[in-house]
Amino acid sequence: MQKIRGKPLHYNLPTMKTDSIFTKDDLGYLLNFKFDNTYPFIIAGPCVIEDAETAYNIAGILKDYSEELNFNLIFKASYDKANRTSINSFRGPGIDKGLEILEGIKAKYGIPVLSDVHDVREIEKAKAVLDIIQIPAFLSRQTDMLLEAAKTGKIVNVKKGQFLAPWDTKYIVEKIKSVGNNKIILTERGVSFGYNNLVVDFRSLIVMKEFDALVVFDATHSVQLPGVAASSGGRKYVMPLARAASAVGVDGIFFEVHADPPQALSDSANSVYLSSFKDELKGILEISKRHA
């Protein structure tokens, strides 16, 4: 394996050969992870930035949890939910205010930050703050989005579309690698199963690992029930599915958390309670260690 060597992550990221394999060690080097790779890294945060105070509070509590349980944390929150079902749904503070908040969280807590981009024109501005650029599931086949994100040299996390088979992600990886970037994460978030329902085929986590990318299981969105007027979800299934993914052996797990999920302005039905997150996560991490 070719190891990454280069400047700290807030400078230009090093170039890697596209035929090398991106590993958790490489990710840890780029993101200055504190802990070893005994456990999966955890991507967590509110679905959307509701306001600065809420985002900072959640980030601070998650940072404390990561220190107590010895897992590496990536903070996630969207500055704009451009794919909300209803025109009346809350979208977030927008790119400028949102990135300002994420940059402040990154500086205060020393944790890497991730957010999703919904337009090619956002990428140039977003790359100045984000450590990981996320491509939403509905845009996972959009070549221009993938290429522009890859050209930044940043780590690119692609949500597997609900309409894609796991082996179709091979072409996503090829597109990103075509511009010389192999810092790729593929995230499973369920596949359409009839109308207004998703199902997880855990074989996909194994299949996607064949394409030399890190693989993450999105426990929150995998229990989403996409709706016509508004999406619902099954919060009670989030942690059981995360336990299953840990047993399979994923590189990371993705959760959306909130202090008061029923009052959350996005994904309220499937976000996890922040108050119970630490204790539930503890068991999940132990499962992952036993199956490593």
Q: 19 lies in a domain?
A: no
Q: pTM of the predicted model, to two decimals?
A: 0.90
Q: What is the span of the domain harbouring residue 136?
A: 26-192+202-265+276-290
Instruction: Report the amino acid identity of residue 182.
Output: N
Domain assignment of residue 78, yes or no: yes
Confidence of residue 243 (pLDDT cuts 50, 70, 90): very high
Contact 30, 74 (CB under 8 A): no
pLDDT band with cut points at 50, 70 and 90 for residue 1: very low
Q: What CATH number has the domain bearing residue 159? A: 3.20.20.70
Query: Does residue 139 lie within any of the structural domains?
Result: yes
Residue 111 has pLDDT above 70, yes or no: yes
Residue 270 lies in a domain: no
pLDDT of amino acid 196: 82
Residue 4 lies in a domain: no
Taking CA atoms, 88 is separated from 45, 85, 139, 211, 266, in Å, by: 23, 9, 22, 39, 12
Structure confidence at residue 202 (pLDDT): 96
Domain for residue 8, yes or no?
no
Confidence of residue 10 (pLDDT cuts 50, 70, 90): very low
What sign does the dihedral 183-133-245-177 (CA atoms) show? negative
Residue 197 banded pLDDT, cuts 50, 70, 90: confident
Sign (positive/negative) of CA torsion 186, 189, 194, 195?
Answer: negative
Asked if residues 154 and 113 have their Cβ atoms less than 8 Å apart, the reply is no
Which amino acid does the sequence have at 107? A
∠ CA 113-216-137, rounded to 5°? 80
Residue 49 lies in a domain: yes
Instruction: Give the total number of structural domains in the chain.
Output: 1
- Decide if 271 is inside a domain: no
Mean pLDDT of 134-162: 97
pLDDT score of 71 more than 80 = yes
Mean pLDDT lowest among 84-98, 138-152, 239-253:
84-98
Higher pLDDT: 233 or 264? It is: 264
| Average pLDDT over the chain, rounded to an integer | 90
- The whole-number average pLDDT for the span 127-156 is 97
